[in-house]
Amino acid sequence: MDLNILWFILIAVLYIGFFVLEGFDFGVGILLPFLAKEDTQRRVVINAIGPHWDGNEVWLLTAGGATFAAFPQWYATLFSGFYLPLFLLLVALIIRGIAFEFRSKDEDIRWRKLWDGCIFGGSLAAALLLGVAFSNLMRGVPIDAKMNYAGGFFNLLNPYALLGGIVTVLIFTLPGAIFLGMKTSGEVLARAQKTARKLWLPIVIVTLIFLVATYLSTDILARLGVDPGVIPLSGIVALLLVGYFLRKGWYGWSFAMTCLTITSTLITMFLYLFPRVMISSLNPDWSLTIYTAASSNYTLGTMSIVALIFVPLVLIYQGWSYWIFRKRIVEKPGSLTY
């Protein structure tokens, strides 16, 4: 296979892994102040993702590193043009990570509420900023003939991108609620399951509005054709099935369908972009592609060997960690440490 295509696919896989795994992780953080009314319940919610949240973030770091090594011009244009949003994303992730570690260092209720607020704010901001960034990649941004970003910060805050950010927050919140419905017990469990059922219909409506906006704001019809294909349709069907499984009380299947929805959405986005990696709204000929933005074949070949060795190890380790910590979190005195 063409190494440029191979690395485009691998980077897509890394972002899909991040959105699926960190998506429900962010959703749990967003729901923290709404589902947990006292400290023990908040510790239950946090412990549900305690063993996983930092491992989930590794997918984003790996995707960024792979982009830098495989497509340096894509990395340079993206990080220069999206500098402030990506900086804010980094700040949100740092604050969120610190909050997980610091909240248990003092038993003072005000101290813990401060860091619980940081978990909520960091999760919400990160989800929103990711949605805005990826929506702008779909819509296109001003890139000149020298592959430089030619717009400003407010170019990124267009209505389509902001709507994409809202959809991302909601899409992450739904699997977060379902995950808590599978991992917790007692009052948190009941609230999580009730919240998931209430969220489903509004999310379907907002998602459909975003799909219409995507057809109006991008050239996706010209790229993918009038027939959307199996992958985009599978995402829509999966989202509709979430509601059916929630009514049946089949939360494992509901969670799987939310993961399928996110996966099919990301695959559709990368299929739409290919072979482009960033679309120029100034001139389509100035768009960055997997060939104009790529490293040398020698670099891509060396990276392929490294990926072949280490990616399976990472997958095995992360799968093992989810298996080890698969049991429900039960409210028992002395058993909660976060």
* Gap between the Cα atoms of 186 and 281, Å rounded: 52
Answer positive or negative: Cα dihedral of 39, 40, 46, 47. Answer: positive
CA atoms within 13 A on the CB side of 33: 14
Query: Using the 8-state DSSP alphabet, how is residue 284 labeled?
Result: G
The two three-digit tokens of residue 137, written as one number: 């990649």
Give residue 231's pLDDT.
85
Answer positive or negative: Cα dihedral of 134, 135, 140, 142. Answer: negative
What DSSP line would sit under 178-222, residue for residue?
Answer: HHHHHH--HHHHHHHHHHHHHHHHHHHHHHHHHHHHHHHHS-HHH
Query: Using the 8-state DSSP alphabet, how is residue 328 labeled?
Result: P
Is the distance from CB of 118 to CB of 29 less than 8 angstroms? no
Is the distance from CB of 190 to CB of 147 less than 8 angstroms? no
Instruction: Bin 327: left if φ > 0, else alpha if -120 < ψ < 50, else beta.
Output: beta
Cα dist. 245→182, 205, 238, 248 in Å?
Answer: 13, 18, 10, 5
Task: Print burial letters for 174-186: b (CB count within 10 Å at least 16), e (below 16).
Answer: bbbbbbbbbbbee
The answer for residues whose C-beta is within 8 angstroms of residue 182's C-beta and 6 or more apart is 251, 252, 255, 328
Is the distance from CB of 56 to CB of 187 less than 8 angstroms? no
Answer positive or negative: Cα dihedral of 128, 129, 133, 136. Answer: positive
User: In 3-state terms, what secondary structure has residue 338?
Assistant: coil
Give residue 335's pLDDT.
52
* Gap between the Cα atoms of 10 and 15, Å rounded: 9
| SS3 labels along 257-287 | HHHHHHHHHHHHHHHHHCCEEECECCCHHHC
Give residue 338's pLDDT.
43
User: In 3-state terms, what secondary structure has residue 289?
Assistant: strand
Distance of CA 243 to the CA centre of its chain: 21
Locate the domains of the chain by residue range: 3-188+272-324
The answer for residues whose C-beta is within 8 angstroms of residue 36's C-beta and 6 or more apart is 42, 44, 45, 188
* Gap between the Cα atoms of 260 and 269, Å rounded: 14
Q: pLDDT tens digits for the chain (338 residues)? A: 699 999 999 999 999 999 999 999 999 999 999 999 898 899 999 999 988 888 888 899 899 999 999 999 999 999 989 999 999 999 999 999 999 999 988 888 999 999 999 999 999 999 999 999 999 999 999 999 999 998 888 889 999 999 999 999 999 999 999 999 999 988 999 999 999 999 999 999 999 999 999 989 988 877 776 566 788 889 999 999 999 999 999 999 999 999 999 999 999 999 999 999 999 999 999 999 999 999 999 999 999 998 888 888 888 988 898 899 888 888 765 555 44
